[in-house]
Structures are given as structure tokens and as C-alpha cells.
Amino acid sequence: MRQATSRFAFISSETSDADAALETLSARYGQASVDEADIIVALGGDGFLLQTLRETMGTGKKVYGMNRGTIGFLMNEYRATGLPERVASAIAETIRPLEMQVVTTAGESVKALAINEVALWRQSYQTAKIRITVDDQMRMAELSCDGVMVATPAGSTAYNLSAHGPILPLDAPLLALTPVSPFRPRNWRGALLSNKATVRFDILEAKKRPVNVAADHTEVKNAASVTVRESPDQTATLLFDPSHSWNERILTEQFRY
């Protein structure tokens, strides 16, 4: 168990609420640099927390989020008191990002990491046409759609859920392959894949039907092909209060009506 003497680095999304929380917490507990800290406390919303996880990926730093944003699905409740005790009893979850490799129609190659999802979507009024291959086996010769994505368990409650994809427990060894407004095949609702799978999207008629792709906030225009897999070596660690763990949030979300 971690000791109550953990060194904290408080970082803010730079909203008024987050800045005020940073001032209060750093005055109470002290402020270490990110390099020196044992625990990074991210003050903001889910987007800021994901940004923090990307920036600390592979460093071994643990990130504890407190909600100073709007929804805060990934965040713990904000309270100024009892932080060392909360962190000492927190549940650690390992986040593994997706690795995206894009080849554009101009032949440029771009790589990026995504904690939530890698999403493709049509760039113009023309419906996108995409071929889907999983582990070198073609699974769908042509998907006509507005878009398609591969989502991690951490990202399954974000864009994936909005597109009617499945919610995945954080420790599930799965990825969600989810279409966005599929036209043909109209009734296809996506697939659950092993987290060891490699997914390749080939853009058909890429010049006529241009497609953009994004790994979280990293966007690439005019994709010709996109390869996605879970990173075998990059990880981030997220801390949750036991009273409001990720799995409890997942169960609660699935029973909303």
C-alpha cells in the first residue's frame, strides 16, 4: 500500500474550476514537479485526463483524476480533504493504448497512439467504402458507411457508445469494432475482437470518397490504409476510488434506461 507521504503533482485543464482546485490542493499537500512526483493528479474532465495519460505513457507514473469538468466518467469525485488516504486505497487499472499506422493517398506514413479509439469517417458528402481485414483475413469486402472505429475498453463509453457499440469492462481482453451509420450491409452492428487482433482498413475509391482517421486527437486526412493493434509495450496507470471503480461505472451505465 502506498504511504500518505506520496508526492503529488497537480495539473489543471486551465478552466477556472480546475485552476481553483489546483491552488487549493497544492497549498494543502505541496506541489512536486511531474518528474519528481509519485502521483499525478489531473484536475479537469475526461479529455484532459486522456491527454495526461498520453503524456505520461510509459513513464510508470500513476494518474489520479478529480472531476473539474462536465461528465467526468473517468474521474474521481473532487474533494480537497483526505487525498493521501484516497490515493493509498485507490484501485490501479492498466490502460493499453492502440497503435495506429496510416498510409495516405500521397504515400505519407503516420503513426499515433490512441487511448479511446481509432476512428475513420467520410471526408465529403460521398459515403465511405472500406474493406476490413482482421489478422490478414478479409472479413468484409466492402462496408459502405459514414465511418468505422476500433475502441478500447477505456474508450468504449465514448464515441463507441454514441455509435451504439458495446460497453467493455476495463479488464476485458477485447476491442470493439463498431460502424458509424452503416449503409451496406445495413444491419451490421460491428464485432468484438481479441485485444491481440490486428485490424486493417483499406479505403476503396479513396480519391473519390476521401476518408479521415483520428487516433484520439491526432487526425490524418486522405487515408488510403489504416492498421490498428493494441500496443504490446506502452501502458498507463489510472487510479480509481474503490467506492466508484471503473467496473462499477460500467455496470451502472449498462443498466441505465
155 is in an annotated binding site: no
Grid cell 503516420 is found at: 110
Indicate the SS3 state at residue 22.
helix
Phi, psi of 253 (to 5 degrees): -65, -35
Cell numbers at residue 14, please? 486551465
Q: Is 117 annotated as a binding residue?
A: yes
In sequence order, what E strands does 123-160 have?
128-134, 137-151
Q: Is 163 annotated as a binding residue?
A: no
Q: Is 241 annotated as a binding residue?
A: no
Q: How far apart are CA 177 and CA 201, in angstroms?
A: 11
Paired residues of 130 in beta bridges: 143, 203
Ligand-binding site membership of 159 (annotated): yes
Q: Taking the CB of residue 28, how many other CB atoms lie within 10 A of it?
A: 12
Residue 17 known to bind ligand: no
Instruction: Check whether 190 is labelled as a binding-site residue.
Output: no
157 is annotated as contributing to ligand binding: yes
Query: Is 241 designated active site?
Result: no
Q: How many residues does the chain have?
A: 257
Q: 17, 19, 38, 46: which one is catalytic?
A: 46
Binding residues for NAD(+): 46-47, 116-117, 146, 154, 157-162
Q: Catalytic site residues?
A: 46
